[in-house]
Amino acid sequence: MHAENGTLRKYLKENFENLTWNNKFNLASQLAYAVSCLHGEGIMHRDLHSNNVLVHQNIIKLADFGLLKRIEETSNSQSRTFGLIPYTDSKSFNGSAYLLNKKSDVYGVGVLLWEISSCQPPFHGKRCDAGLALNILQGLRETPIHNTPEEYISIYTACWNVKPDNRPTIDQVVNKLDKLKAKQNIIIKDFHLYNNDNDIQSSYNYQSNSDVISENIDSSHGNLSQIIQNFNIMNTKEIESSMSSGNLFENSFDTIVNDIINYLVGDSIEVGKQKVLNYLNNHNITLQDFNNLLLNNQNNSNSIYLLGKFNDLGIGICADSQKAFEFYQKATDLGNAFGINELGYCYEKGIGTNIDKKKAFELYQKAADLENSFAFELYQKAANLGNSYGINSLGHCYQYGIGTDIDKKKAFELYEKAVVDSENSFGMIDLGYCYENGIGTDTNNKKAFELYQKAVELGDTSVITNLGYCYEKGIGTDIDNKKAFELYQKAADLENSSGMYNLGDCYEKGIGTDIDNKKEFELYQKAADLENSSGMYNLGDCYEKGIGTDIDNKKEFELYQKAADLENSSGMYNLGDCYEKGIGTDIDKKKAFELYQNAADLGNSYGINSLGFCYEKGIGTDIDNKKAFELYQKAADLGNASGMNNLGGYYENGIGTDTDKKKAFDLYQKAAELGNSFGMHNLGDCYEKGIGTDIDKKKAFELYQKAADLEIYME
């Protein structure tokens, strides 16, 4: 195969002075669209970097893996591996059994888009070693080149988001680049997927006007499909001459195993099984051949895990839960995280063995500890070498008890060291959070604000929302709702889900802008789509109350369920309310009690108050007024108006405590001042009857009126 301009890296190096932004957008679009075609056929590249993308007459060509071998034949294996670190999905560096997937390709595309903008390799001049991998894992990314259009920056930064789920799909990348091109009125040249065996090219003449698409698309579809089917098979003549097809298959065995595990782990059972069968068929591999290879690789823990999975699901063989259990046990003995997890599931559900919930828990814990222990050791080594990102990550381990005991003071000291030793923005954010919440140190809102502000100035977009929150609530600075709104808007424009959620809250409450329920609903929807649990909870609230949309109790219930599954305490509380009252689901008092308990355990004041109500009324549990009193007290201490009102009732009537009319009056007054209609009504009752205060019929009437205006029905 001939590529006139060589690799993309070579092309950028030789042409950096002549490339305009139009030229760069052209290359970026060709690259994204080519990868989109692969994903459309269920194929992942997994090896995107600038030495594996070719340029021929200014046209992008994706090379297959055989070409990579020829291009880099002069490189030694170790240097090549480390050289690819900047392009490799950061998630794969965290020590867990993470499998490269389509979002990994999107990550690589993001790095390449940056490289196209800068015309130099990522982290140019830095050592590509384990230290760099650790830094990338913790969020280190290249900084935007001066004069890069904001829209282009937002595209590639979204691609390399630390969380794969927050990255766009490749089709979304293509669409965003299309919009950017439309603004620039760019005509995109042909792109090529290249199969070096037959030198087949598929060409797309693509213009910013979506109505003007070359007829070549339809005519070349057959060729393109053939290219994609052969994409993953190394078939250059020089490789064929040096190894048989059987050896070739065995050499790509690990890749195939990883792909198949990815299907089985990432999809539902039926979808995963079908994808496995399609994958093997597309690679001309029979189930028998693949099974034989698995059996011949008994030292490979992933092979053993797959044998267990095939027996478990009956893929190509009759399902055999006993054999599945035995293979999972063997994979577990070899320390395979997938095997450990599946073995735990076997004990939990009684698959191939007797049910043993305790054993299941221990295995699930072991799978988690494997990752945590590895992470702690890695961060400790990096910290000992003075790596600021390692120091900061070690702080995380101590703060959250990852692979070690929780030590918040130690965590604070490490965050502080990371900031002092170098301008580490992640350390600044964590240190700011410690100062804001008094973790390992005294609360100091001013310092928290200054640290958040400095991190933003260093280009860390993830903390823009925190800074906005400081301006909204007056944390370490004066309240400035307009500034808060602007910062939330900026974060939302950068596809930050927390920014979207907070911006929605601004439109809901008129913070720094006019109230706009439609915009509020749309922003909560966007945040929810990005798996933001607060966005889900608030979107559920919109469906509950008909804010910016029609009331839909079923959708409300589903969103609260989803938020609760993500450990959102407000979602748990509202889901409990749904089960208690039969909103969008059947009434289940026991389930309601459990959810209120879960929310309370996470410190949610509404959950604590509702749990107290359950103990007072015997909802899903036995009546226990002493416990109810304690919970109302706890909710009141957290500033919960309903908790204050309920606590007042207990003091007034001497339930779970001694009667204290004055305390009851004070609590009703506090609840009323916070806008609680029940508190207003009870305070009015105090003034009417002289409970804990002098009789004042006029005040009583005013309070009853105010409560009535809030739609409370009085006896």
> Nearest-5° angle of CA 537, CA 605, CA 442?
105
Phi, psi at residue 145, to the nearest 5°?
A: -75, 145
Query: Alpha-carbon distance 514 to 704, whole Å?
Result: 31
Query: How far is it, in rounded angstroms, from Cα 176 to Cα 183?
Result: 11
> 10 Å Cβ neighbour count for 247?
11
Contacts of 559-567 with C-beta under 8 Å, sequence gap 24+, read 559/528, 560/536, 562/528, 562/533, 562/536, 563/533, 563/534, 563/536, 563/537, 564/595, 564/598, 566/531, 566/533, 566/536, 567/533, 567/602
How far apart (Å, rounded) are the C-alpha atoms in residues 485 and 464? Answer: 11
The DSSP-derived string for 19-81 is: --HHHHHHHHHHHHHHHHHHHHTT-------TTSEEEETTEEEE--HHHHHHHTTTS-HHHHH
Task: Name 204's Cβ contacts closer than 8 Å, sequence gap at least 6.
Answer: 33, 190, 191, 213, 214, 216, 217, 220
Bridge partners, residue 62, by sequence: 53, 193
H or E element: which one contains 279? helix 269-282
What the block records as the tokens of 612 is 């107290």
- 107-116 burial, b for 16+ CB within 10 Å, e for fewer? bbbbbbbbbb
DSSP string, 304-326: HHHHHHHHHHTSSS---HHHHHH
Which DSSP category does 585 fall into?
A: S
**What type of residue sits at position 370?**
L
Q: How far apart are CA 26 and CA 32, in angstroms?
A: 10
* Catalytic residue numbers, as ranges: 47
Contact predicate 63/31, CB 8 Å: no
* DSSP character string of 387-441: -HHHHHHHHHHHHHTSSS---HHHHHHHHHHHHHHS--HHHHHHHHHHHHHTSSS
Query: How many helices, marked H, and strands, marked E, lie in the chain?
Result: 37, 5
- Joined together, the tokens standing for residue 121 give 């390799």
Q: DSSP state, 610?
A: H
